[in-house]
Chains A and B, each alone.
Chain A
Amino acid sequence: MPEISLMPSLGISASALDAETRRMEVIANNVANANTTRDANGKVYRRRAVVFAAQLADAIDSSGTGKQFKGVGVQAVVEDGRPMSRDYRPGHPDADGNGYVTMPNVNTLEEMVDMMSASRSYEANLAAIRTAKGMASQALEIIK
Chain B
Amino acid sequence: MNESIDLLTKILDCTAMRQRVLANNLANANTPNFKRMDVKFRDALAEAIDSRGKESIRDVNPTVVEDTDAAATGDGNTVSLQKEIGEMGSNALLYGFATKAVSKKLAGLSKAIKG
Q: Which residues of A contact B (CB under 8 A)?
A: 1, 3-6, 8-9, 12-13, 15-16, 19-20, 23, 51-54, 63-66, 69-72, 117-118, 120-121, 124-125, 127-128, 131-132, 134-135, 138-139, 141-142, 144
Contact = CB atoms under 8 A, between A and B. Distances in A.
B25 to A, nearest CB: 9
A72 B27 contact: yes
A139 B99 contact: yes
A63 B24 contact: no
Nearest to A15: B27
Interface residues of B, number: 38
Contacts of B19: 6, 9, 131-132, 135
Interface string B1-42: 000000000001101110111111011111110100100000
With most chain B CB atoms within 10 A of its CB, the pick from A8, A118, A131 is A131
Which A-B residue pairs are the 7 nearest by beta carbons?
Answer: A16-B27, A69-B24, A71-B27, A9-B20, A52-B31, A9-B23, A72-B27
Contacts of A134: 92, 96
Contacts of B81: 120-121, 124
Given A1-B61, A5-B16, A124-B85, A117 B24 contact: no
Majority secondary structure of chain B interface residues (helix, strand, loop or mixed)? helix
Contacts of B64: 65-66
B4 to A, nearest CB: 14
16 contacts: A3-B13, A5-B16, A12-B24, A13-B26, A16-B26, A16-B29, A19-B30, A54-B24, A54-B28, A54-B31, A72-B31, A128-B23, A132-B23, A134-B92, A135-B92, A139-B95
A129 B103 CA distance: 24
A121 B28 CA distance: 9
B106 interface: yes
Contact of B27 (A1, A12, A127): A12
A52 B88 CA distance: 23
